[in-house]
Structure 1
Amino acid sequence: MSTKQEVLVSWDKDKKWEEIKSVKNEVIDKSVTTVAKPGVRYWFTEKGGSKQSFISEVGALFISFFFAGIVPLLIILFFIGWLSRRARIIFLCSFLTLLIPVKVYDITVLKWRLWDCLYDYFSYSMIFDGGFDPNRKYLYAQYPHGVAPMATAVSGMGLTYFSPTIPCYSLTTASALIIPVYSVIIRWLGSIEASNKKLREALSEGSCNVVVDGIAGMYVNEPDKEMVKFSGRKGFIRAAVETGTPIVPAFNFGNSRLLALIPKFLEKPARKLQCAMGIIVGRWGLPFPKKIMLLTVAGKPIEVKKMSRDDPHYSEYVDEVQQKVADELQRVYYKYRCVYGWENRPMEIY
């Protein structure tokens, strides 16, 4: 019995894409809804980089620690708990946070001024290349994952200032939703379990972020190029086709450089267990993300024709849409890489 061979996306590493050197810049007013204009770089802060206050930077490190360092901390508490009663109590009490009733995607929490610390720390900005409608639901195909999808988390908060009436959920592994403390925070920010059922439910209610390369992207840390994974990544395409949801490819410049996960040979068991394995290395050699500027560029929406799995052209159409996503991601990457300062950093699809 023969099996259908997977159709891989094509890419031409020698193709010359349109590139621009600069864009118009605006700082958003967080007290009102911002109407996104194509090609404008929207800054979420005027206090980024060296302008960030000491208190704001400490706040950002504290918040980001829950995204990257909470698991190592719990492991340390577990082992110290054998020797220290206090550590044992703290470790056990942390699991009580799993009992807290949490509203998934809480718009009030998403607009806390506390998150300004992250906007400052990462000097965060967004660009919509065109076609963004604040009243439509989208499936955002985000790249890259990196060790921690910090840029995706921050962009999810940022979207509330452009499209406040459409909730934007984010897929995450089931294991992440049972981590004490961490699970509370990410649920507030809109995280849901990465499953076909949950994704379709999310798209029926609003938009959804999908960090396509997932756990595989956690172990990619190339010093001189960006690596994005497309092979075997069709689940989100199928969900978009079956619900008729337009796809917006988005690239997060800088996210791959925030942290590193070592050793790399743990990638295979980590993917099987659906959880990160290894040592997270960031700023000062600790599990804190480096203070690197982040820029999210959202490409033009790819309109998707609604089609059921029973349609004889279904598989062919899924492959067609996947190729469009790959082409659009490459286009926006090369168009804006000089704006970010990566004019000599190519993208490679695998």
Structure 2
Amino acid sequence: MKTLLAAYSGVKKGSGSRFLSALQGLPSAPWLSRSKLVKQLQAISVLQFILTFLAMGIAATVLLLYLLCTDCWVISAVYIAWLIFDWNTPKQGGRRSAWVRNWTVWTYFRDYFPVRLIKTHNLPPNRNYIFGYHPHGIFCFGAFCNFSTEATGFSKKFPGIKPSLATLAGNFRLPLLRDYLMSGGICPVNRNSIDYLLSCNGTGNAVVIVVGGAAESLDCAPGMNSVTLRNRKGFVKLALQKGADLVPVYSFGENEAYKQVIFDEGSRWRWVQRKLQKLLGFAPCIFHGCGFFSTESWGFVPYGKPINTVVGEPITVPKLEDPTPDVVEMYHTMYVNSLTTLFNKYKTRFGLKESDVLLIH
């Protein structure tokens, strides 16, 4: 019992090494082996990430409303006052925390798949960047781990560059969740927020945009190598207006995390998904992973497949206040070609066949 308490204490204090040392003192039992416990800790770290994004904001809202009806109403009143005062912070660079980005839990998250970050070129810190992240997957595990935590060593590999992963603006209207997201350097994917980062925050900023968005998540499944990009040109126009270099990023293995039921285009169920996507801002996917204790059973835990995120060569972009459609089209074509080249160069290294091609939708 003392050993278990020591292990728990190690996790609370953020000391992964202390926790693993405590595990060595556990009795040897086939169901309580050190390797299995570590694997389950990794699964828990991934589950907490999923449940946080899905439930924290709603749970915090319900709790605040409940407290307003109790003798503890002052807690809700103070937080609501703070929320009003702090409302525009997500659109003004946010409030990132190096402490949160370096939590030990993110190393367990990284090692579950595992997630790796591959650097191909230097990024000078005297420029700003827009990273186009592909593909979306179900939960963007690679994007979160690489750009919203330091588990894969982003700051060491790209010194002087501050990544800001852009996500749904609606998340920043939910109490507590907004603060949690900002602590990791996550920002709303809207014009005001991105304008601030690329125009009013100096240089060395990298805004990470999952270009395919919710629409792309409807087509992600193991073995699928497709991206929604053909008509996504807004991020290119924004890069031109701000003079921010475009950087293609491809995560091999992102689509392997879950198995999904993919409905044919034109079918009734795909029509329902599209309508709900426009209404809710995200795509309601029907998917499954594996169970917590067994990979043979169905569950909510993603499959532990490697996710290798390759950051490609930056495309130098001039600053044009009002780029013409032809100029936007030219740089969009350059970006598509660069992403395709990146995919073809690294696909066999990360388990794909030479004959596999990247489909651009």
TM-score computed with the length of structure 1 as normaliser: 0.71
Paired residue secondary structure (1:282): strand
Which structure exhibits the higher relative contact order, with contacts defined as CA atoms closer than 8 Å and separated by 6 or more residues? 1
Kindly provide the CA deviation profile for residues 18-52 of structure 1, in whole angstroms up to 9, marking residues without a partner as x: xxxxxxxxxxxxxxxxxxxxxxxxxxxxxxxx798
What is the aligned counterpart of 1:169 among 146, 157, 164? 164
Structure 1 position 167, deviation (Å) = 2.1
Structure 2 residue aligned with 1:13: none
Structure 2 residue aligned with 1:119: 110
Structure 2 residue aligned with 1:281: 288
Q: Determine the C-alpha separation between the residues in 2 that align with 1:254 and 1:182.
A: 27
Structure 1 residue aligned with 2:5: none
Structure 1 position 124, deviation (Å) = 1.8
Answer with 223-232 or 177-186: which moved more.
Answer: 177-186
Structure 1 position 184, deviation (Å) = 3.4
What is the aligned counterpart of 1:66 among 46, 51, 70? 51
Paired residue secondary structure (1:241): helix
- Contact preservation (8 Å) 2:134, 2:251: yes
Structure 1 position 217, deviation (Å) = 1.2
Alignment CA distance shift 1:295-1:327 (3 Å): same
Question: What amino acid does structure 2 have at the position aligned with 1:293?
Answer: P
Q: Determine the C-alpha separation between the residues in 1 that align with 2:257 and 2:172.
A: 23
The alignment status of 1:268 with 2:274, answered yes or no, reads: yes
Kindly provide the CA deviation profile for residues 81-110 of structure 1, in whole angstroms up to 9, marking residues without a partner as x: 9xxx9xxx9xx999x988677853222221
Structure 1 position 333, deviation (Å) = 0.8
Question: What amino acid does structure 2 have at the position aligned with 1:306?
Answer: K
The alignment status of 1:349 with 2:360, answered yes or no, reads: yes
Structure 2 unmatched ranges of 5 or more = 1-34, 262-268, 292-297
- Contact preservation (8 Å) 1:97, 1:184: no
Question: What amino acid does structure 1 have at the position aligned with 2:315?
Answer: I
- Contact preservation (8 Å) 2:131, 2:249: yes
Structure 1 position 188, deviation (Å) = 1.5
Paired residue secondary structure (1:210): strand
Alignment CA distance shift 1:134-1:116 (3 Å): farther
The alignment status of 1:192 with 2:187, answered yes or no, reads: yes
Specify the structure having the higher radius of gyration (Cα): 2
Structure 1 unmatched ranges of 5 or more = 1-49
Alignment CA distance shift 1:228-1:71 (3 Å): farther
Paired residue secondary structure (2:316): coil
Structure 1 position 331, deviation (Å) = 0.7
Alignment CA distance shift 1:59-1:136 (3 Å): farther
Structure 2 residue aligned with 1:338: 348
Q: Determine the C-alpha separation between the residues in 2 that align with 1:134 and 1:289.
A: 35
Q: Determine the C-alpha separation between the residues in 1 that align with 2:192 and 2:144.
A: 22
Question: What amino acid does structure 2 have at the position aligned with 1:324?
Answer: M
Alignment CA distance shift 1:183-1:218 (3 Å): farther
Structure 1 position 286, deviation (Å) = 3.0
- Contact preservation (8 Å) 1:60, 1:118: yes
Q: Determine the C-alpha separation between the residues in 2 that align with 1:265 and 1:328.
A: 33
What is the aligned counterpart of 1:155 among 146, 162, 165? 146
Structure 1 position 264, deviation (Å) = 4.4
Paired residue secondary structure (1:233): coil
Paired residue secondary structure (2:247): strand
Structure 1 position 253, deviation (Å) = 0.9
Structure 1 position 149, deviation (Å) = 1.1
Structure 1 position 251, deviation (Å) = 0.1
Q: Determine the C-alpha separation between the residues in 2 that align with 1:213 and 1:113.
A: 30
Structure 1 position 136, deviation (Å) = 3.6
TM-score computed with the length of structure 2 as normaliser: 0.69
Paired residue secondary structure (2:166): strand
Alignment CA distance shift 1:327-1:52 (3 Å): farther
- Aligned residue pairs total 289
Paired residue secondary structure (2:349): helix
Question: What amino acid does structure 1 have at the position aligned with 2:290?
Answer: R
- Contact preservation (8 Å) 1:192, 1:198: yes
Answer with 174-183 or 298-307: which moved more.
Answer: 174-183
Structure 2 residue aligned with 1:290: 303
Structure 2 residue aligned with 1:132: 123
Q: Determine the C-alpha separation between the residues in 2 that align with 1:197 and 1:180.
A: 20
- Contact preservation (8 Å) 2:239, 2:246: yes
Aligned-pair identity (%): 21
Alignment CA distance shift 1:264-1:222 (3 Å): farther
What is the aligned counterpart of 1:203 among 184, 198, 204? 198
- Contact preservation (8 Å) 1:135, 1:166: no
- Contact preservation (8 Å) 1:219, 1:260: no
- Contact preservation (8 Å) 2:249, 2:310: yes
Paired residue secondary structure (1:340): coil
Question: What amino acid does structure 2 have at the position aligned with 1:191?
Answer: I
Structure 1 position 279, deviation (Å) = 4.3
Structure 2 residue aligned with 1:35: none
Q: Determine the C-alpha separation between the residues in 2 that align with 1:216 and 1:141.
A: 15
